Amino acid sequence: MKRLLPLFTALSLIISGMVSAQETDTVAMMADRIEPEVIKWRHHLHQNPELSNREFETAKYVEKYLRGLGLEVTTGVAITGVVAILDSGKPGPTVALRADMDGLPVPEKNDLPFKSIAKGMLDGNEVPVMHACGHDTHMAMLMGAAKILTEMKSELRGKVKFIFQPAEEGAPSGEKGGAEVMVAEGVLKNPDVDVIFGLHISSNTDVGKVRYKHGGIMAAVDPFKIIVRGKQAHGAYPWKSVDPITTSAQIIMALQTVVSREIKVIDDAAVVTIGSIHGGNRSNIIPNEVVLVGTIRTLNKAAREHMYEAIPRKAKGIADSMRAEVEVILPLDYSYPITFNDHALMDQVLPTLVRTAGQENVINSKAVTGAEDFSFFQQEIPGIYLWVGGKPLDVSEADSPAHHTPEFFVDDSGMKLGVKLLTNMTLDYMKNAK
C-alpha cells in the first residue's frame, strides 16, 4: 500500500493540472468572447470620468450592470462605492476582487473617439477630468471577470466579493474616502473575506505581460508639513532676525541625508521630497514663518519607522542651532501603508500567472515608489497586487506616456489578460483552499 501512495499523489497532481488547464482554456475562450463588451464598458467609463468621492454616475453604471448579472449589490459604501456578492451556494472561501473608480483633474490631450471632455469641481473650481491612471480599465476588467465567474458559478466553491472602490487618488480636502473608509465600514466582513486580488494597468509594460513581486511592490506614502518660525526683520538688517528661510534651506538639504546616510538603500529604496515652500512676500523682508510640505515613500516597515523618527530629529536639531522654532506634522492629512504582497499567497498564485499569461510574459518586477491604497485591504487580510501591461507593442518604453499626465494612454487589448488573471486567480484559490 505504501508503494501506491506516491502513485496516487502523482495521479492527483496530474488530474489537478489537467483540470486547471481545462479551466484556463475555458476562461480564455470566454474572455475572447466578451472582449468587445469589456472594450465598450471601458470606452464609456473613459469618456465619463468623475473625481474622487464624486463617482455618482460611475457607481450607477456599475450597479446596473452587476444587478443585471443577478448579484447581491450594496451601494453607497464609502460614499460612492459599489460591492457585489456572488454566492456559489457551496462551502468555501470568500475571495475579494477590487477595482478603483475615480479619475484625476487632468485635461486629456489624446485624439481618441472616446476622449474625455468632462469637467468636475475641485476645491470650488471647475477642472478637467480624465482617467489618467487607467481606473476605467480596472473597472472594465473587473466587470468582465464578474461576468465570467457568474457564468461559471457551478465551478465555484464559496463566495466572490466584487469591490468597486472610490477615491483611490485621495479624497477632496476636508473629506475621507477610499479603501481605508471601506475597510472601516466593514467591506471585508459579512461574509469575512479570506484573500483579495487587485491589479493596475501599466502604460510602460507591454500588452500581454504581467509584473509581480513578493513583499513590498508599492511604497507607503506619508505626507508631512514642517512649520519653521523665526523673527521678522528688515532684509537689510538680517542680524536682527531669526531667519526661517535659511533655516528651512538647511532643513531641506539635511532631510536628503536621511536617505543617503541613514537608510540601508541596498535593501529597499526610500524617498523624501519637499514639494511646496511658502514664506515671505517681499524681497526686503525676512518673514516670521516658512511652511514646507513634502512626502515620504518607503518600502519596508523599518525604513518607514526610521523616517518618522529622523525627520523631526533633523528639523528640530537645525532649528535649535539657528535659534528658530519648528513644528513637524507627520503624517499630514492621509497616509497609505506599504502595498505588500503576502509571500505565501504570492507563491500560491504564481503558477496561475504563468499558466494564464505564459512563462515568458510573467516578470518578477522591482518595487516602485508610487503608492496605492489597496494596501489598506492588505493590512487586514492577505492580498496580491499585480501590474498588467497596457503599452502597445509598437511603442517603445521610452515613448510611452506616464501615468497622471494628459497624454496617458493604454491599449484596449491589454484588458483581456487582466480579465483572465482575476478570474483564474479566483478559481484556483477556491479549488486549492482547504
- Give the integer Cα–Cα distance in Å for 420 and 341: 20
Query: What are the CA-CA distances from residue 420 to residues 87, 139, 203, 287, 360 (Å)?
Result: 20, 14, 19, 59, 17
Place of cell 489624446: 110
- Give the integer Cα–Cα distance in Å for 377 and 375: 5
User: For residue 58, how many other CB atoms are within 10 A of its CB?
Assistant: 25
DSSP letter, residue 354: H
- Give the integer Cα–Cα distance in Å for 35 and 413: 8
Q: With the CA atoms of 106, 109, 111 and 114 taken in that order, what torsion angle do they form, in degrees rounded to the nearest 10? A: 10
* Sequence-ordered list of residues with C-beta below 8 angstroms from that of 127, at least 6 positions apart, any chain: 51, 105, 119, 120, 121
From the CA atom positions of the chain, what is the Rg in Å? 25
Which of the residues are catalytic?
102, 168
133 annotated binding-site participant: yes
Q: What is the 3-state secondary structure (H, E, C) of 241-257?
A: CECHHHHHHHHHHHHHH
135 annotated binding-site participant: yes
Q: Is 215 exposed, middle or buried (0-12, 13-18, 19+ CB in 10 A)?
A: middle
Known binding positions: 133, 135, 169, 200, 404
Known binding positions for Mn(2+): 133, 135, 169, 200, 404
